[in-house]
Every structure is written in structure tokens, then in C-alpha cells.
Amino acid sequence: MTQLNYEPIDEATLADSNMPPIAETELVPTPVRMTTTALEFKLVAKCSTTRARASVLSLPHADVLTPVFMPVGTQGTLKGISTKQLEDLDCRIMLGNTYHLGNRPGEEVMKEMGGLHKFQNWNRALLTDSGGFQMVSLLKFARVTEEGVLFESPHDGSEMLLTPEKSVEIQNGIGADILMQLDDVISSTVTGKRVEEAMYRSIRWLDRCIMAHGRATDQNIFAIIQGGLDADLRTICVREMVKRNTPGYAIGGLSGGEAKDAFWRTVAHTAPLLPENKPIYCMGVGFAIDLVVCTALGVDMFDCVYPTRTARFGTALTDAGNMQLKHSKYATDLQPIDADCPCMTCRTYSRAYLHSILGQETVVCHLLSIHNVAYQLRLMTRMRDAIIADEFPAFVRTFMSTMFAHSPYPQWIVDSMRSVNVELNPNPHGITSAER
Ligand SMILES: [Zn+2]
């Protein structure tokens, strides 16, 4: 990845101060309604207790079984794991970062290559983000105007403007099965008028994205619900975006450091407002606990860099929590990370071996990335199987009591599961208000 000068951005400076204020009547224009879709969403089973559901999401390049976790690739390749290995893990959909792909190899090369599928030899489904989030989080001097997101190129310092139209044009060139609208992204910890401004602007940008979308017959554009942690703003955003009739809807603006209690309540409020016959995607969510909670709340799709990022620190994901392989107790432990895991790492190497090579970062990163992605994918499959068997509440109880075998349940997990009629098994350590 290109080394960028990272500098935190003051959210207040992102708000546009030069544009004339938008009149109340122009906050939401006449909706641009979509009539074309390039997906089919077939419900397979619904949990009779929670809001969890299992479906088949048929996309141009693959039939994706939901609930699904989508690993994130950068520069057309996942950190520490190849597309071939993802295929071996039966991964059917992955993410590509529009910002990175737009920089290198670049839009023109991508078009010449015939899109990202061919470029990285991946024949299954792909989803690309709008590029906006990456820019706001990676670049300095970023500023949001009604026209788009203004930022400074890391390569030559020139100013570049990412408009909704440009974002869609780049994503049309990449050719993913699902592309995301450009939205006005703010941190989930921002409060006040800026949240409302970003929400309404995201609706207006959705209209511009739909109008610019040149491949509606073979690429699906997803709207992104904004509105921060404010339930009323989320409701308004859902109502307006549903009028646009996009093939799917994402819940955006979460996993940005907000309290866990606010996180689950926002998902629990937003998901039931969305159409039942369309996929719901919660962006940036990838901790195993969050995947279980959000699946119970009715979410179908997830993505996160966490499994591969945490692999670089020697962390293996398991049902019992994070296994820190650098710990000296693993030096003589000849078991695999997880005896039930069918991944190449678990079939081939012991904890002791992985512990011994921890200094050689690239090898460990690679082996743990394979296991961690396999863990996430298998967690989703196990949930899907439980939903189809209508045993999902029992799965949740077992999962949570294993994860919290040695520590109390966080209150937010107890509350979120209670909201979908699941009482967790008694925990010998009780319940704590501390987050996890
Ligand atoms: Zn494994």
C-alpha cells in the first residue's frame, strides 16, 4: 500500500462552509427510482425467535449464501491470502477497495484489463466501496462539499474531487457485482447538525449515483443508510432511500468507536425498517460477537479488515476468544489452533510451530490470515445452518457462553439478545457494564 501521511481530520473542518445553505424544501429532491436489478434475493429460512434469516443472494458472478462475511482485499489481493486460497475456503464474495484500485493500477489499466475480476483472476462475486471512506480516513486536507469529497493526491499533491458520478464511473470500470453509493461519511462519535447534514447529503448523492450508474443490468448499486446514532434521522434516511428502490441497503456510519450499546440499538432500529425482500449489509462489522449479534438483529452481509489485520499481530480467532500465539504457554503446545477447523493452517501446523515462527512476520501473517478468514466464513456457515434448522437461539446461547466462559457477559450483549427474545445461559461470572 502507498505510504500516506496520516493526519487525523477535525470533523468540524469537513463541514462545507463556502456553499450556500440548502433550503429545507431542497433537502430531499424528487426520488430517482431504480427499476433494474442485477440480483435475486431468495429467502431460505427465518428464525422463529430472532430476526435472523438465511438466504441465497444470486449475483452475476456467484450465488452467495447468507448471512455472509466478505473478506477485504487491498490492491486486488487480500493481505496474506491469495484468491485461490479464498476459493479453497469456499469464499464466494470479497471486497475490493475502490480508492486503492483507482490509484494503482488505476482506472484506465483496470478498464483495459477488463475489470477487477480478470485483473486478479477472481471469478466469483465482488463488492467495491465508493472510495470516499478510504479518502476521508487516509488523506489530509479532505473537505466535503455538495459537489463531492475534495482531497489531496498522495502521489503528486494535486487536488482531486471525488464526486458521486466519478465514484460510480470508477466502480463501473472495476465491474464488481455490487457497488456502493458515495455517501457523506462522518465518524459515529460526531453529534449535532453535521449528522443531519451528512444524512440528507447522502440521499442527494444517492440520486446522483443512480443517474450516473451505467451498468444497472449487471452491477447492483447499494444505498447507504446514514443518520449517526439518531433513530429519527435513521428513519428519515430509510424512508427516502427505500423510495429509490436500490437492489440492496447498507447500514453505514457504525463501527467507528461508538459505545456498543448505541451500536446495537442503531442496528436493531434500522434493520426492521428496511424491505424484507432485499439484502441488508452492515458495513465495517467483523468481530465474531458483533457478527452473531447483528445476524440475530436481521443483517445479511458483513465486511471487515479485522481477521487479516489482527493476524499480523499473531492473533488467531477462536470461539473462546482471541488466541495470542506469542504467549509462552504455546511454546510446547502441539495442538492445532482449532481442532475443528478444516483450514490448511490448522491441518498442517501446531500452536508451538506458529509460536516459534512469530518473528517471521510474512509467514505467520499468511498462515494466521488463512485461519482467521476460515474462522469467519465458518462462523457464518454455522449460523446459517442453525437458522435453517431453526436452532439459532441455541447456537447463540452456546456461542456466548463459550466466548464468555471466563468473564462476565457485557450488559449490551444481554440487552441486544433480549431484544430478539433470546435469554443467554447463566454466566458464573455474572454481567458487567464494561464493553467488549
Ligand atoms: Zn484454522
Interval 110-154: pLDDT, tens: 777 777 777 777 889 999 999 877 766 666 556 889 999 888 777
Of 277, 305, 333, the residue that ends a domain is 305
The domain in which residue 330 lies consists of 311-408
Residues 213, 124, single domain; the answer is yes
Evaluate whether residue 424 is within a structural domain. Answer: no
Evaluate whether residue 21 is within a structural domain. Answer: no
Residue 346 assigned to a binding site = yes
Residues 251, 112, single domain; the answer is yes
Residue 75 assigned to a binding site = no
Residue 226 assigned to a binding site = yes
111 φ/ψ angles, rounded to the nearest 5 degrees: -65, -45
Evaluate whether residue 155 is within a structural domain. Answer: yes
Encode pLDDT of 401-423 as tens digits.
999 999 999 999 999 999 999 99
Residues 294, 326, single domain; the answer is no
Evaluate whether residue 416 is within a structural domain. Answer: no
Residues 137, 238, single domain; the answer is yes
Residue 133 assigned to a binding site = yes
Q: Say what the pLDDT of residue 138 is.
A: 66
Residues 241, 363, single domain; the answer is no
* Verdict on whether the full-model pTM lies above 0.85: yes
Q: How far is the CA of 81 from the centre of ligand 1 (A)?
A: 13
Residues 243, 344, single domain; the answer is no
Evaluate whether residue 33 is within a structural domain. Answer: no
Residues 264, 320, single domain; the answer is no
Angle between helix 260-270 and helix 231-243 axes, rounded to 10 deg:
30
Q: How far is the CA of 335 from the centre of ligand 1 (A)?
A: 11
Residues 381, 397, single domain; the answer is yes
Residues in the chain with pLDDT values less than 50: 1-19, 76
Q: How far is the CA of 352 from the centre of ligand 1 (A)?
A: 14
Residue 237 assigned to a binding site = no
Q: How far is the CA of 341 from the centre of ligand 1 (A)?
A: 4
Evaluate whether residue 27 is within a structural domain. Answer: no
Residues 144, 189, single domain; the answer is yes
Q: How far is the CA of 308 from the centre of ligand 1 (A)?
A: 13
Q: Which residues are catalytic?
A: 129, 303
Number of domains into which the chain is organized? 2
Q: Say what the pLDDT of residue 78 is.
A: 53
Q: Which CATH number do you get for residue 150?
A: 3.20.20.105
Q: Say what the pLDDT of residue 110 is.
A: 74
Q: How far is the CA of 370 from the centre of ligand 1 (A)?
A: 7
Q: Say what the pLDDT of residue 27 is.
A: 86
Residue 343 assigned to a binding site = yes
Q: Say what the pLDDT of residue 136 is.
A: 63
